[in-house]
A and B are shown apart, each in its own frame.
Chain A
Amino acid sequence: NAGVTQTPKFQVLKTGQSMTLQCAQDMNHEYMSWYRQDPGMGLRLIHYSVGAGITDQGEVPNGYNVSRSTTEDFPLRLLSAAPSQTSVYFCASSYSPLVTDTQYFGPGTRLTVL
């Protein structure tokens, strides 16, 4: 049981490049989400999914796309990276969207956009 895994751990992009941050969980969790963490800002929700085929926007969705074709995977796509997207990205999952279910976080991806 690996929990929540994220790849890559580190990434450097140039402005305008695209990339996909991978997130996978092996706990059969229905709810998955992406956060970004910036210094002094805490964690802010980017997108979330309550099950395969269902996604929705969080607090800061602009510049990011997501899809949920399987229960296990929830990739985050940056179509045209900007320096403002330099951040640490965390994926999280829980059994259901209910906040009473514990969210499990991945180790994060540190992204730098030059």
Chain B
Amino acid sequence: AQSVTQPDIHITVSEGASLELRCNYSYGATPYLFWYVQSPGQGLQLLLKYFSGDTLVQGIKGFEAEFKRSQSSFNLRKPSVHWSDAAEYFCAVSSGNTPLVFGKGTRLSVIA
């Protein structure tokens, strides 16, 4: 069965600073990987996804993520954080034939 670990429960960054949110997955074959964002009081919105091919994927809102098979990781990055990026971020994995399995989330706070 697949599983996802997001090691950081809460991260605080300054506006304009770079961001990296960590995600590690457990799955024997090539996984389908996703990052979702949840703004306060809202549902989840897909940021980006990786299925195959180029291991660096670009998403919406200036986010990108890199798939590293050797490290079983799919970390989310943004070069310069904006105050509006404050939200909760979820990494998710699937085998392709199974429903998404979500991580427990990382809450991002942005300070001036």
Binding site for B on A (CB under 8 A): 4, 33, 35, 40-45, 48, 58, 90, 92, 98-100, 102-103, 105-108
Contacts and interface: CB of A to CB of B under 8 A. Distances in A.
6 contacts: A4-B43, A42-B105, A45-B99, A99-B94, A99-B99, A100-B96
A41 B104 contact: yes
Interface of B: 4, 9, 32, 34, 41-46, 49, 51, 90, 94, 96, 98-100, 102-105
Contact of A42 (B41, B42, B46, B102): B102
Contact of B99 (A4, A58, A105, A107): A58
Contacts of B9: 40
Nearest to A106: B43
A103 B46 contact: yes
A35 B18 CA distance: 32
B104 A48 contact: no
B94 A102 contact: no
Contacts of A4: 43
Given A45-B100, A92-B44, A99-B96, 10 more contacts: A33-B99, A40-B9, A41-B104, A43-B44, A43-B90, A48-B99, A90-B43, A90-B44, A99-B94, A106-B43
| Most chain B beta-carbon contacts within 10 A, residue among A35, A99, A102, A103 | A99
B104 A42 contact: yes
A99 B43 contact: no
Nearest to A91: B43
Contacts of A92: 43-44
Contacts of A35: 102
A108 B99 contact: no
Given A33-B99, A42-B102, A100-B51, A107 B43 contact: yes
A41 B34 CA distance: 17
A42 B103 contact: yes
B40 to A, nearest CB: 11
A8 to B, nearest CB: 14
A35 B101 CA distance: 11
